[in-house]
A = this chain, B = another copy of it.
Amino acid sequence: MTTIKDIAKTAGVSVTTVSRALNGYSDVNEKTRQKIINIAEDLKYSPNTLARGLVMNRSKTIGLLVSGMDRSSVKDNFTYQVLSGVNECISERGYDLVLFSTTSTKQREKTYSQLCRERRVDGAILSGIKIDDPYLNEVVESNIPCVLIDIPIQSETVGFVTTDNVLGAKKAVRHLIEQGHKNIAIINGHDQAFVSKQRLKGYKEALEAANLPVKEYWIVSGEFSEDRAQEKSLELLKQFPEITAIFCASDLMALGVLKAAKILGLEVPSKLSVIGYDNILLASYSTPTLTTIAQDIIELGYQASHLLIDMLEGESNSRECILDTELIIRESTDSKQRSLIKE
C-alpha cells in the first residue's frame, strides 16, 4: 500500500509537499505538482482516510441510523428509499455512508452517541425512530450534528426533514368529502410516530372545514400494521355500517382495510371508499388499486443529507425542510374510474 512517504521518496521532495500538491494547495510549483501527481498515479496511490480523519478530526462519513431493518420492513420499503436518497446526495458531495441498524437488543449495548463517536461520523441521519426511543434524547443532548426524518425537533445541532402531514391528510379527507362522503373514519398509525398526530390533525381539520362532526369512536389505531388495520376496520365497519369511507394513515393499513371490506362483502369503492397514505409500490398493484397521498421518500432522504451537509459545512441558515405531498386518485375511491376499468 503506497503512502505519501513513498511518493515523496521517488519524487525527491518532502511529504509536506506531496500532501500539498495532492490536496490542491496553491503554494506549490506547477511542475512539482504534475510530477507528484504522475508518480501518485503510477504507484496507484490512494489516500488513507483513516489517517486523514484522525488528524483532521473529520471523517467525511455520515451515519445513517435506521431501526427495524428486518424481514417485515421489505413490504413498505420506506427505509430503502430513504437510504437511496441519502446515498445519492452524499456521494454527490463527497461523503461516504455508514449504516447503523438498531434493534432493541443492540440498543442496550451501545448508545447512539457511542456509535457515532466510535466511527467518528461527521453527522447522522435518523429514520424510522419512534418518538419514545431512548436514542432520541441522546441526539438532542449530544452535540453531534444530526437530521431527523419525520420528527420535528430543532436545535443548534439538530434539524429535521418531513412532509406536510397535516395538509396531506387534509387532501385525502377533502377528496373523500368531494366524492360525497359524510361518514368518514380514520385508521391511524401508532402514537409513537409523530406523523400519526399530524395526520389525525389533518383529518379533523378537513372534517371541521366541511362542517362534518368529528366522532372520536371513528378514530382507531391500526398501529401501521396491515393485520391490525384489518381487525380494527372489521370491528369498526360492523359496528357502524353507516361509514362509507375510511382514511388510512398508511397504504399498508389501507390494504388491510381492503381485506376487511372483502370479508364483509363491501364492494370498494361503491360501498366503501378507501384511501391510503405513502403511495407504496403495492398501492398500484392491489385490487382495487389504491387512492393515496404520495410522498417522495427518496427526496426525503436526499433533502435530509443535503440539510445535514449544509449544517456540517456551515452553509445552513435553515434547520428544517418540509416537502409536499400529492393526491393520487385510483380505483379505491373513484367509482367512475373503477367501473370504467371493469368493462
Contacts and interface: CB of A to CB of B under 8 A. Distances in A.
Given A53-B50, A117-B46, A281-B282, A96 B91 contact: no
A96 B97 CA distance: 11
A44 B142 CA distance: 12
B118 A49 contact: yes
A74 interface: yes
Interface string A106-130: 1000000110011110000000000
B69 A87 contact: yes
A48 B120 contact: yes
B118 A46 contact: yes
A54 interface: yes
B59 A50 contact: yes
B77 A298 contact: no
Contact of A50 (B46, B54, B106): B54
A105 to B, nearest CB: 10
Interface in A235-291: 281-282, 285-287
B98 A96 contact: yes
Interface string A59-103: 101000000011101110101110110011001000011111100
B74 A81 contact: yes
Given A50-B51, A69-B84, A281-B282, 13 more contacts: A46-B113, A46-B114, A46-B117, A48-B117, A48-B118, A50-B54, A50-B120, A69-B83, A83-B99, A87-B99, A91-B106, A96-B99, A98-B99
- Judged by DSSP, the binding face of A is helix
Contact of A98 (B61, B74, B285): B61
A51 B54 contact: yes
A84 to B, nearest CB: 5
B101 A281 contact: no
Contacts of A281: 74-75, 281-282
A32 B110 CA distance: 24
A48 B117 CA distance: 7
A59 to B, nearest CB: 6
Interface in A1-45: 1, 44
Contact of A48 (B1, B47, B54): B54
A285 B251 CA distance: 14
A108 to B, nearest CB: 14
A91 B286 CA distance: 36
A120 B87 CA distance: 19
Contacts of A287: 287
B74 A118 contact: no
Contacts of A44: 113
Contacts of A75: 281
A86 to B, nearest CB: 9
Contacts of A99: 83, 87, 96-99
Contacts of A114: 46
A97 B77 CA distance: 19
Interface in A205-258: none
A73 B281 CA distance: 11
